[in-house]
């Protein structure tokens, strides 16, 4: 087919029009950014991105992350043209219930969307994770004819992305690691929601700062200048030693009457502005959702290029080569990680120590496990011994030293998980989830099986004081949908919780680990395990009171039970490492472990807020409802009411209060 | 008194020794950073900082923020020498229960500590807030002889600070605003917890990036070179147009056998290392906690300089000048902000709209109110009309355009509050508290009366989808000690909640505001107000069921009550804008509003986790325990179970379930 000379301009106009059509149909969304940045996304997809729209999860595809996720309409338009399974009807359903074209791009429902984006800055850090995963996997798995993975990661980002600290952390980190296959396009339209970006932001300084951190930077003075865009992107992909930042000056709302106006940022256009924009886009777009035939045909090149590349890769992957066999094993996953929890039975040690030992084992048995800490390996023990440390000189290193960059770390491991080959972990103190909260949320939303290893889990942090002592964090994590929190009560449970975390494939697992040694639980009556979330540790017989505890509170709860038993009370001790796993059990199991008619006392050195559901109608809680303090751990526990005596007293008082109300009744033996 | 020529070296050795003594006594803490950075803190305090140790909260003092709070022992040592009420006994009690020398510096208990620090990066952003407060107050209040406030803000920061995104946001922001009285010393010791900093961090790039963002930078090759340090600080304080970054190359653990070794970072020294360090520090420090007499005497200059400066300022402040009178009014606070909540009675409007109207009123009546949004004024309506916008050209502007920098925003308003004159607010969407979680926590920990104006408060965000729809945020905020969350259910409540927020002086208030219009509550039976946290809106008579709701769920709860009443049930509706305020009420009030024996249904479009306590033993909850989705708000409410019909059905089902268990009983009329 012969294409007119202006076919690329026609394609760009079509992207602009389809984006406008979606926003106008939904009467909601962002049209100004797509109108300005259409040439950028057109150029990346049409000329650079190597991906097969018929196999959107192909592992060696180039990745594309629209970090400025509010430009979703532009991405959907491009995916539609490029041949992904995003139909005109899908575009018409933009932002509607059940559509594959939601308000911000979501990885999962929409073929071709490589990351869920919207919260600014996350996408840049996700892309850094993808570039790390590509380099690390390629370096570790090289066949006779080269690395098995060899692709680029492209990002389209906005002013807002580059104001966010997470992006600045990621920029510093990517520069340090010389991620040469990372190409970030910066749509510099000098408009933010509240006005001109330059009033709050220095775009040129962002580029100079990136250069200082080792980036290759290129500038394009006009986003509609296609030869200049091509030249800049040619330079970016030719540069292999440094990540590239291509800063492109664009005009928000271009072709509309709201060009270069903050009002173009959000919302549908007025009828008059819509009409004027359509007129500017030409007769092809007088009617909504129209794709000119020649434009559609011209885009065939995308599927062809990607299909050829994929076929070539599949051909390579059919060879008989140990690296290829290993790759297939990695991708299939599911190899037994070989943790024998009985090894840890009876040990008195901090949960972080046990976790470190388990990780040392996993370093040998689970080659896909990679990750690191935000400068706290020495404290959290989250290390893969002999795994090497990822760096430009050691691209196969499995330990990643993130530096003190918690937010970027959280989003980078999300990117590694999104990449699809490796199983990442990230580690810091529990209290510093406050620095990466949005990344943790995005892991849950995207159903990414990342593992967070979070130590120093309560006021028992001790002398470091309240700034380092978590109080509210367990409530946050337990209130985050699709997140499983695991807080082991002794060494054996810590090993089991690692098993539970590894078994999870559709969302993050959060290991919450003690700084101080944990006594082994008395398992004389034990009949459960952590994968059910909570189980009876002692006192299977008829109970007057159930003490429910997790983590470092399990041992004092046990001692309190002994005190109360000595007084003739029948006391059950339940270990509850994971609320989420427990509430996912059948009613029968739950009612057996925690009989509805038996009084309970839930003991955990965290805010009571997340304990009330577990306490139930006849329950009370012993928690921490104020900030911590600076003192040795033992003193902290005594001041905050967690000694066995104090717990026993709370139990007695609770039973007395219930008796006053005529409540509280023993229950029969549990089913075995 | 004649001082020996090496008196400053003797002072520095004393700071080193006292820091070591504290850590050794506590067998816990960080000694390496103090040993390296002692000359820096010595030089700032001895030669530059203008503060009166007998009046540590003097408003025109220079501020000093130890952003790398783990160097607390060095700060306490210096405060001790400088004449603050930090005694040798206090130093001996380092990191112990009840001491004024906790593990990380805390504003409040310790005279001379201007900010609570420890979580890295926060202090740099706090200092930016202090510098803004100084410039803005000075510009707004200028007497005949000049601005009433005129002081510097000094920071001592570490590698870790400059890796954190919050610090990078603050650097960009401070450069843009040309905060020339801000001086940041960067202790560049090239050591982090996990090894050499240069493996994870490029210190020179940090300085170049700051320069790109408009900072003045100076370098000192050796922290022990006092003339070079003096020259650098002279240059920094002489520079008034740009913030200054003084990068000083130091050696962690200097004078100890662990010099330049990551092991110097944390923990006490071994006995041998302690002895060797003491030997290096000289005979004055053979015994712990010894301050040579001449060193103590020499430090008299600090109190003298600060005392003179304060006396001079007090003399100025005794003049008869309208600016001075205004300053005294501002500092006294407490002027009636003049919100007449009855004005808002009956309006149907989004809580963010009402909030905007209240703020427009406050812009006139409450001159100390200043603040801004993270590029969302257009959406959150958090604006002070005619207040001007803070910038180098308009230093008196009361609105601050933070750009898309939520974390820095949160810490900057903390700094403004710490500064002590102005009352700051900050605004973004509720979901983006995930970007500033640690700053919110630090506000609560420091008891700072900042006001957060957070709109777009639930799945009713609608088409923007799950990335923008809060689910877990109310649980996080309610589990954070000393934080008051206020979620108004109609326009009148929104105005009342602003009153409640302004009435609070010892911690943050979080206004959680709807995006969509709220129907006015039927107040026919109303007998309460938001300051009690929860109150009866309708159905004061004997009730079979209490529906408890907040925010946008109040109106559908009311409609559901009508449906159930039509079936003959006696239904009470309780509005619960603030759990914290409600649980602070006397039992009698609480039991009257929510009779313990009456079944309840708590309805809120947030995660159930924070609702169970309010539900009580006979309660159930209607919440959101999964992520949101992209769809128009009405559709979202229907899909998530929040229509009046759905709520009524949940109420019926709950009563039926209780009846099966023989529970549920009506209660008598409430006391008036």
Q: What average pLDDT does the segment A187-214 reach?
A: 95
Please tell me the number of Cα atoms within 13 Å of A401 on its side-chain side: 24
Q: What average pLDDT does the segment A450-474 reach?
A: 98
Q: What average pLDDT does the segment B7-11 reach?
A: 98
Of B266, B463, B607, nearest to A479 by CB-CB distance is B607
Taking CA–CA distances from B262, the nearest residue in chain A reads A378
Q: What is the pLDDT of residue A665?
A: 60
Asked if residue A204 and residue A149 are part of one domain, the reply reads yes
Cβ atoms of residues A91 and A80 within 8 Å: yes
Inter-axis angle of helices A406-419 and A122-140, nearest 10? 60
Q: Do A192 and B632 make contact, defined as CB atoms within 8 angstroms?
A: no
Confirm whether B665 is domain-assigned. Answer: no
The CA distance from A70 to A119, in Å, is 9
Q: What average pLDDT does the segment A429-439 reach?
A: 98
Q: Token pair of A545, please?
A: 């009171």
Average pLDDT, chain A: 96
The CA distance from A657 to A662, in Å, is 9
Cβ atoms of residues B623 and B475 within 8 Å: no
Q: Do A176 and B201 make contact, defined as CB atoms within 8 angstroms?
A: yes
Give the percent of chain A with pLDDT over 70: 99
pLDDT tens track for A515-525: 999 999 988 77
How many Å from the N-terminal Cα to the C-terminal Cα in chain A?
Answer: 74
Task: Indicate the SS3 state at residue B573.
Answer: strand
**CB contacts, 8 Å: B167 with chain A:** 165
**CB contacts, 8 Å: B631 with chain A:** 95-98
Surface of A (344-383) touching B: CB under 8 A? 373, 375-379
pLDDT tens track for B166-184: 999 999 999 999 999 999 9
The pTM of this model reads 0.98
pLDDT value at B671 more than 60 = no
Whether B623 contacts chain A with CB within 8 A: no
> Closest by alpha carbon to A134, among A114, A158, A152, A156?
A152
How far does Cα B382 stand from its chain's mean position?
A: 18
Whether A45 contacts chain B with CB within 8 A: no
**CB contacts, 8 Å: B166 with chain A:** 165, 435
Q: What is the pLDDT of residue B622?
A: 98
Residue A107: is it exposed, middle or buried by C-beta count within 10 angstroms (0-12/13-18/19+)? buried
Surface of A (394-433) touching B: CB under 8 A? 401-408, 431-433
pLDDT tens track for B350-377: 999 999 999 999 999 999 999 999 999 9
Whether A580 contacts chain B with CB within 8 A: no
How far does Cα B648 stand from its chain's mean position?
A: 41
Q: Token pair of B645, please?
A: 């019909």
Q: Do A475 and B476 make contact, defined as CB atoms within 8 angstroms?
A: yes
Q: What is the pLDDT of residue B670?
A: 46
Confirm whether B318 is domain-assigned. Answer: no
State the nearest Cα–Cα gap between A221 and chain B, in angstroms.
20
Instruction: Report, as residue numbers or ranges, the catalytic residues of A.
Output: 406
Residue A270 makes CB contacts below 8 A (sequence gap 6+) with: none
Q: Last residue of a domain, which of A518, A538, A553?
A: A518
Of A99, A161, A617, nearest to B617 by CB-CB distance is A617
DSSP A511: E
**CB contacts, 8 Å: B76 with chain A:** none
One DSSP character per residue, A37-70 reads HHHHHHHIIIII----TTSTT-TTSPEEEESSGG
Cβ atoms of residues B380 and B373 within 8 Å: yes
Asked if residue A248 and residue A168 are part of one domain, the reply reads yes
Confirm whether B325 is domain-assigned. Answer: no
Q: What is the pLDDT of residue B668?
A: 47
Task: Indicate the SS3 state at residue A11.
Answer: helix
pLDDT value at B261 more than 80 = yes
Average pLDDT, chain B: 96
pLDDT tens track for A50-59: 999 999 999 9
The ipTM is 0.97
pLDDT value at A358 more than 50 = yes
pLDDT value at A321 more than 70 = yes
Q: Do A103 and B472 make contact, defined as CB atoms within 8 angstroms?
A: no
pLDDT tens track for A142-180: 999 999 999 999 999 999 999 999 999 999 999 999 999
DSSP A402: -
**CB contacts, 8 Å: A625 with chain B:** 481
Cα A470 to Cα A430, A476, B76: the distances in Å are: 6, 11, 25
Instruction: Report, as residue numbers or ranges, the catalytic residues of B.
Output: 406
Whether B119 contacts chain A with CB within 8 A: yes
Asked if residue B476 and residue B568 are part of one domain, the reply reads no
Confirm whether B329 is domain-assigned. Answer: no
Of B444, B464, B610, nearest to A609 by CB-CB distance is B610
Number of H helices, E strands in chain B: 25, 22
Strands B545-549 and B600-603 turn out to be: parallel
pLDDT value at B529 more than 90 = no
Confidence of residue B239 (pLDDT cuts 50, 70, 90): very high
Of A29, A165, A479, nearest to B475 by CB-CB distance is A479
The CA distance from B26 to A378, in Å, is 20
Beta bridge partners of B64: B154
Asked if residue B354 and residue B306 are part of one domain, the reply reads no
The sign of the CA dihedral B655, B661, B662, B664 is negative
Q: What average pLDDT does the segment B152-160 reach?
A: 98
Q: Token pair of B469, please?
A: 């729809």
Cβ atoms of residues A205 and B213 within 8 Å: yes
The CA distance from B407 to B469, in Å, is 19
Whether A37 contacts chain B with CB within 8 A: no
pLDDT value at B526 more than 90 = no
State the nearest Cα–Cα gap between A505 and chain B, in angstroms.
18
Q: Last residue of a domain, which of A459, A484, A518?
A: A518
Asked if residue B514 and residue B547 are part of one domain, the reply reads no
Taking CA–CA distances from B606, the nearest residue in chain A reads A479
Q: What is the pLDDT of residue A672?
A: 41
pLDDT tens track for B581-624: 999 999 999 999 999 999 999 999 999 999 999 999 999 999 99
Confidence of residue A671 (pLDDT cuts 50, 70, 90): very low
> Closest by alpha carbon to B664, among B621, B622, B618, B620?
B618
Number of neighbours of residue B340 by Cβ within 10 angstroms: 9
The CA distance from A117 to A122, in Å, is 7
Of A106, A169, A205, nearest to B163 by CB-CB distance is A169
Residue B526 makes CB contacts below 8 A (sequence gap 6+) with: B535, B536, B537, B538
Among B90, B103, B196, the strongest candidate for a mutation testing the A interface, having the largest count of A CBs within 10 A, is B103
Confirm whether A573 is domain-assigned. Answer: yes
The CA distance from B309 to A34, in Å, is 57
Asked if residue A638 and residue A502 are part of one domain, the reply reads no
Helical (H) or strand (E) element with B214: none
Asked if residue B545 and residue B509 are part of one domain, the reply reads no
The CA distance from A93 to B33, in Å, is 58
> Dihedrals φ, ψ of A650, to 5°?
-65, -40
Number of neighbours of residue B516 by Cβ within 10 angstroms: 18
Residue B394 makes CB contacts below 8 A (sequence gap 6+) with: B388
Confidence of residue A667 (pLDDT cuts 50, 70, 90): low
Asked if residue A178 and residue A50 are part of one domain, the reply reads yes
Whether B103 contacts chain A with CB within 8 A: yes
Asked if residue A161 and residue A14 are part of one domain, the reply reads yes
The sign of the CA dihedral B316, B319, B325, B329 is positive
Q: What average pLDDT does the segment A96-110 reach?
A: 98
The CA distance from B230 to B225, in Å, is 9
pLDDT value at B42 more than 80 = yes
Helix ranges (H only) for A106-239 are: 122-140, 159-163, 165-176, 203-212, 226-238
Task: Indicate the SS3 state at residue B238.
Answer: helix
Confirm whether A671 is domain-assigned. Answer: no
Query: How many CB pairs (< 8 A) connect A and B?
Result: 347
Confidence of residue B451 (pLDDT cuts 50, 70, 90): very high
DSSP B267: S
Surface of A (197-226) touching B: CB under 8 A? 199-202, 204-205, 208-209, 212-214
> Which residue has tokens 């989250």?
A382
Confirm whether A464 is domain-assigned. Answer: yes
Domain of residue B489: give its range: 341-518
Q: What is the pLDDT of residue A666?
A: 57
Helical (H) or strand (E) element with A607: none
Asked if residue B184 and residue B151 are part of one domain, the reply reads yes
Confirm whether A328 is domain-assigned. Answer: no
Q: What is the pLDDT of residue A338?
A: 86
Q: Where are the beta strands (DSSP E) in A566-661?
A: 571-575, 600-603, 619-622
Please tell me which residue, A338 or A573, carries the higher pLDDT value: A573
Inter-axis angle of helices B203-212 and B165-176, nearest 10? 30
**CATH number of the domain where residue A271 is located:** 3.40.50.970
Whether A658 contacts chain B with CB within 8 A: no
**CB contacts, 8 Å: B116 with chain A:** 467
Whether A266 contacts chain B with CB within 8 A: yes
**CATH number of the domain where residue A643 is located:** 3.40.50.920
Q: What is the pLDDT of residue B666?
A: 58
Q: Do A617 and B618 make contact, defined as CB atoms within 8 angstroms?
A: yes
Task: Indicate the SS3 state at residue A377.
Answer: helix
> Dihedrals φ, ψ of B77, to 5°?
-60, -45
Task: Indicate the SS3 state at residue B667.
Answer: coil
Q: Do B467 and A163 make contact, defined as CB atoms within 8 angstroms?
A: no
Provide the number of structural domains found in chain A. 3
Whether A168 contacts chain B with CB within 8 A: yes
The CA distance from A267 to A24, in Å, is 8
Q: What average pLDDT does the segment A24-46 reach?
A: 98
pLDDT tens track for B94-130: 999 999 999 999 999 999 999 999 999 999 999 999 9
Asked if residue B24 and residue B83 are part of one domain, the reply reads yes
Q: Last residue of a domain, which of B288, B310, B332?
A: B310
State the nearest Cα–Cα gap between B619 and chain A, in angstroms.
9
How far does Cα B40 stand from its chain's mean position?
A: 27
Asked if residue A435 and residue A548 are part of one domain, the reply reads no
Q: Token pair of A164, please?
A: 């966010």
> Closest by alpha carbon to B533, among B500, B571, B492?
B500
Strands A451-455 and B545-549 turn out to be: unpaired
Helical (H) or strand (E) element with B517: strand B517-518
């Amino acid at each position: 087919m012969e294409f007119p000379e202006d076919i690329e301009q026609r394609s760009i106009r079509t992207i602009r029009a389809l984006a406008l059509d979606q926003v106008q149909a939904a009467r909601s969304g962002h049209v100004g950014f797509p109108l300005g940045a259409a040439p950028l996304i057109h150029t990346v997809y049409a000329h650079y991105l190597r991906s097969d729209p018929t196999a959107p999860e192909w592992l060696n595809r180039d990745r594309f992350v629209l970090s400025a996720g509010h430009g979703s309409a532009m991405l959907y338009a491009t995916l539609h043209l490029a041949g992904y399974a995003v139909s005109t009807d899908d575009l018409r359903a933009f932002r509607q219930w059940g559509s594959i074209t939601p308000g911000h791009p979501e990885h999962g429902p929409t073929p071709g969307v490589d990351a869920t984006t919207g919260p600014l800055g996350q996408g840049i850090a996700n892309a850094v994770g993808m570039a790390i995963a590509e380099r690390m996997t390629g370096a570790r798995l090289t066949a006779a004819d080269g690395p098995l993975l060899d692709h680029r990661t492209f990002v389209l980002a906005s002013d807002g992305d580059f104001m966010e600290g997470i992006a600045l952390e990621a920029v510093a980190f990517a520069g340090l690691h010389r991620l040469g296959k990372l190409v970030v396009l910066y749509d510099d339209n000098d408009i933010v929601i509240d006005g001109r970006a330059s009033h709050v932001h220095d775009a040129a300084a962002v580029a100079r700062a990136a250069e200082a951190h080792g980036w290759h930077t290129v500038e394009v003075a006009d986003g509609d200048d296609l030869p200049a865009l091509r030249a800049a992107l040619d330079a970016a992909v030719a540069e292999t030693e440094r990540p590239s930042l291509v800063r492109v000056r664009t005009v928000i709302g271009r072709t509309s009457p709201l060009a270069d106006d903050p009002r173009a940022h959000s919302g549908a256009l007025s009828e008059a502005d819509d009409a004027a924009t359509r007129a500017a886009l030409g007769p092809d777009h007088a009617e909504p959702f129209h794709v000119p035939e020649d434009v559609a045909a011209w885009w065939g090149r995308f599927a062809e290029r990607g299909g050829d590349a994929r076929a070539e890769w599949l051909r390579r992957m059919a060879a008989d080569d140990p690296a290829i066999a290993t790759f297939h094993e990695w991708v299939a996953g599911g190899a037994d990680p070989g943790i024998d929890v009985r090894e840890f039975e009876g040990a008195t040690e901090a949960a972080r120590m046990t976790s470190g030992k388990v990780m040392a084992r996993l370093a040998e048995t689970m080659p896909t496990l990679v990750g690191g800490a935000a400068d706290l390996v020495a404290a959290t023990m989250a290390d893969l011994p002999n795994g090497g440390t990822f760096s430009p000189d050691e691209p196969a290193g499995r330990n990643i030293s993130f530096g003190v960059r918690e937010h970027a770390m959280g989003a980078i491991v999300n990117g590694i998980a999104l990449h699809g080959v490796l199983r990442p972990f990230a580690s810091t103190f529990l209290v510093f989830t406050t620095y990466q909260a949005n990344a943790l949320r995005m892991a849950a939303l995207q159903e990414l099986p990342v593992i967070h290893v979070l130590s120093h889990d309560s006021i028992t942090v001790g002398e470091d004081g309240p700034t380092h002592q978590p109080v509210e964090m367990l409530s946050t994590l337990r209130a985050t949908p699709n997140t499983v929190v695991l807080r082991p009560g002794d060494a054996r449970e810590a090993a089991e919780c690692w098993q539970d975390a590894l078994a999870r494939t559709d969302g993050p697992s959060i290991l919450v680990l003690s700084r101080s040694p944990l006594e082994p639980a008395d398992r004389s009556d034990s009949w459960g395990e952590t994968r059910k979330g909570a189980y009876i540790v002692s006192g299977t017989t008829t109970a007057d009171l159930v003490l429910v505890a997790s983590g470092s509170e399990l041992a004092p709860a046990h001692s309190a039970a002994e005190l109360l038993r000595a007084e003739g009370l029948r006391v059950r001790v339940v270990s509850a490492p994971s609320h989420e796993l427990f509430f996912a059990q059948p009613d029968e199991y739950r009612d057996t472990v925690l009989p509805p008619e038996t009084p309970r006392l839930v003991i955990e050195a965290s805010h009571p807020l997340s304990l009330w559901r577990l306490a139930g109608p006849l329950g009370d809680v012993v928690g921490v409802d104020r900030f911590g303090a600076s003192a040795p751990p033992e003193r902290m526990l005594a001041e905050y009411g967690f000694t066995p005596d104090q717990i026993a007293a709370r139990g007695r008082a609770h039973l007395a209060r219930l008796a006053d109300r005529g409540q509280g009744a023993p229950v029969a033996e549990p089913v075995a």
